[in-house]
Amino acid sequence: MTSTYRTAEGGRIDRSTTLGFTFDGEVLTGHPGDTLASALLAAGRHSIATSVKLGRPRGVAGAWAEDPCGLVQIEEPFPEPMLLATTVELFDGLAAHGLPGQGRLADVPDSARYDAVHHHVDVLVIGAGPAGLAAALTAARAGARVALVDEQSEAGGSLLSGTDQLDGVPATAWVEAAVQELAGSPEVLHLQRTTAFGSYDDGFVLALERRTDHLGGAAPEHLSRQRVWRLRARSVVVATGAHERPVVFADNDRPGIMLAGAARTFLHRYGVLPGREAVVFTTNDSAYDAALDLSRAGVRVQAVVDARPDGAPHRRAECDDAGIPVLPGSVVTGTRGVERVTHALVAPLAGGQVGPSSAVACDLLLVSGGWNPAVHLYSQARGRLRYDDELGAFLPGDDVDGLAAAGAAAGVTDLAGCLADGQRVARAALASLPLEPAADDRLPSAPESGTPAAPMVLWRVPDTSGAEGTTSFVDLQRDATVADIARAVGAGLRSIEHVKRYTTIGTAHDQGKTSGVLTSGITAELLGVPVRATGTTTFRPPYTPVSFAALAGRDRGRLFDPERVTAVHGWHVAQGAVFEDVGQWVRPRYYPQPGEDMDAAVLRECAAVRSSVGILDGSTLGKIDVQGPDAAVLLDRVYTNLMSSLEVGSVRYGVMCGVDGMVIDDGTVLRLAEDRFLALTTTGGAAKVLDWMEEWVQTEWPELRVHCTSVTEQWVTFPVVGPRSRDVIGAVFPGVDVANEAFPFMAWRDTTLDGVPVRLARISFSGELAYEVYVNAWYATAVWTRLIDAGRRFGITPYGTETMHVLRAEKGYPIIGQDTDGTVTPHDLGMAWAVSKKKPDFIGKRSFARPANTDPRRKQLVGLLPTDGRTVLPEGSQIVELHPDGVLPPPPVPMLGHVTSSYRSAELGRPFALALVRAGRSRIGETLHVPLAGSLVPVEVTASVLVDPEGARRDG
Partner 1 sequence: MQLIACPWCGPREEVEFSYGGQAHVPHPAAPADLSDEEWAHYVFFRANPKGRFAERWNHSAGCRRWFNAVRDTATYRFEAVYRLDEPRPVTP
Spatial distance between the Cα atoms of 13 and 9, rounded to a whole number of angstroms: 10
Task: Give least dist CB 849 to partner 1, A.
Answer: 8
Bridging pattern class, strands 651-657 and 578-582: unpaired
- Give 280 or 381: the residue with its C-beta nearer to partner 1: 381
Given a contact cutoff of 8 angstroms between Cβ atoms, the answer to whether 723 and 771 are in contact is: no
- Give 571 or 639: the residue with its C-beta nearer to partner 1: 639
Spatial distance between the Cα atoms of 770 and 615, rounded to a whole number of angstroms: 10
The residue type found at 218 is A
- Give 117 or 880: the residue with its C-beta nearer to partner 1: 117
Spatial distance between the Cα atoms of 680 and 665, rounded to a whole number of angstroms: 10
Task: Give least dist CB 709 to partner 1, A.
Answer: 10
Kindly list the residues in this chain that would bind partner 1 in the complex (CB under 8 A).
Answer: 200-202, 204, 232, 659-660, 691, 694-695, 698-700, 702, 840-841, 845-847, 849-851
- Give 1 or 659: the residue with its C-beta nearer to partner 1: 659
Question: At residue 432, what are phi and psi to the nearest 5 degrees?
Answer: -80, -15
Given a contact cutoff of 8 angstroms between Cβ atoms, the answer to whether 601 and 672 are in contact is: no
Collapsing DSSP to helix, strand or coil, 336 comes out as strand
Q: How many CB atoms lie within 10 A of CB 188?
A: 21
Task: Give least dist CB 118 to partner 1, A.
Answer: 10
Spatial distance between the Cα atoms of 621 and 617, rounded to a whole number of angstroms: 10
Spatial distance between the Cα atoms of 939 and 913, rounded to a whole number of angstroms: 10
Half-sphere exposure of 244 toward its Cβ, with a 13 Å CA cutoff?
A: 29
- Give 557 or 840: the residue with its C-beta nearer to partner 1: 840
- Give 155 or 429: the residue with its C-beta nearer to partner 1: 429
Q: Which of 154, 9, 167, 15 is nearest to 89 (CA)?
A: 154
- Give 497 or 700: the residue with its C-beta nearer to partner 1: 700
- Give 118 or 222: the residue with its C-beta nearer to partner 1: 118
Task: Give least dist CB 230 to partner 1, A.
Answer: 9
Task: Give least dist CB 301 to partner 1, A.
Answer: 50
Task: Give least dist CB 859 to partner 1, A.
Answer: 20
Residues 6+ positions from 21 with CB-CB distance below 8 Å: 27, 28, 29, 30, 36, 39, 90, 91, 92, 93, 94, 95, 96
- Give 703 or 741: the residue with its C-beta nearer to partner 1: 703
Task: Give least dist CB 564 to partner 1, A.
Answer: 17
- Give 702 or 891: the residue with its C-beta nearer to partner 1: 702
Angle at 311 between CA 309 and CA 315, to 5 degrees: 165
Given a contact cutoff of 8 angstroms between Cβ atoms, the answer to whether 439 and 290 are in contact is: no
Spatial distance between the Cα atoms of 918 and 937, rounded to a whole number of angstroms: 18
- Give 106 or 659: the residue with its C-beta nearer to partner 1: 659
- Give 701 or 778: the residue with its C-beta nearer to partner 1: 701
Task: Give least dist CB 432 to partner 1, A.
Answer: 15
Helix 780-791 vs helix 725-732: angle between axes, to the nearest 10 degrees? 120
Task: Give least dist CB 203 to partner 1, A.
Answer: 8
Bridging pattern class, strands 204-210 and 358-361: unpaired
Given a contact cutoff of 8 angstroms between Cβ atoms, the answer to whether 58 and 255 are in contact is: yes
- Give 540 or 793: the residue with its C-beta nearer to partner 1: 540
Spatial distance between the Cα atoms of 171 and 913, rounded to a whole number of angstroms: 80
Given a contact cutoff of 8 angstroms between Cβ atoms, the answer to whether 627 and 676 are in contact is: yes
Spatial distance between the Cα atoms of 149 and 167, rounded to a whole number of angstroms: 25
Going through 71-111 in order, the beta strands assigned E by DSSP cover 71-76, 80-84, 94-98
Given a contact cutoff of 8 angstroms between Cβ atoms, the answer to whether 469 and 482 are in contact is: yes
Task: Give least dist CB 81 to partner 1, A.
Answer: 29
Task: Give least dist CB 697 to partner 1, A.
Answer: 9
Cβ density class 550-571: b for 16+ within 10 Å, e for less: beebeeeeeeeeeebbbbbbeb
- Give 117 or 453: the residue with its C-beta nearer to partner 1: 117
CA distances from 745 to 653, 671, 893, 908, 956 (A): 12, 14, 46, 25, 10
Task: Give least dist CB 233 to partner 1, A.
Answer: 12
Given a contact cutoff of 8 angstroms between Cβ atoms, the answer to whether 185 and 144 are in contact is: no
Which element (helix H / strand E) includes 503?
A: helix 496-503
CA distances from 886 to 774, 892, 924 (A): 54, 17, 19
Task: Give least dist CB 144 to partner 1, A.
Answer: 19
Task: Give least dist CB 857 to partner 1, A.
Answer: 18
- Give 702 or 876: the residue with its C-beta nearer to partner 1: 702
Task: Give least dist CB 24 to partner 1, A.
Answer: 43
Q: How many CB atoms lie within 10 A of CB 167?
A: 13
Task: Give least dist CB 850 to partner 1, A.
Answer: 6
- Give 6 or 376: the residue with its C-beta nearer to partner 1: 376
Q: How many CB atoms lie within 10 A of CB 64?
A: 20
Task: Give least dist CB 871 to partner 1, A.
Answer: 40
- Give 664 or 862: the residue with its C-beta nearer to partner 1: 664
- Give 163 or 847: the residue with its C-beta nearer to partner 1: 847
CA distances from 537 to 369, 511, 630, 803, 898 (A): 20, 10, 58, 57, 47
Q: In what order do the strands lie in the sheet with 797-799?
A: 748-753, 756-761, 770-776, 715-721, 614-616, 797-799
Task: Give least dist CB 201 to partner 1, A.
Answer: 4
Given a contact cutoff of 8 angstroms between Cβ atoms, the answer to whether 748 and 762 are in contact is: yes
Which element (helix H / strand E) includes 430?
A: helix 415-432
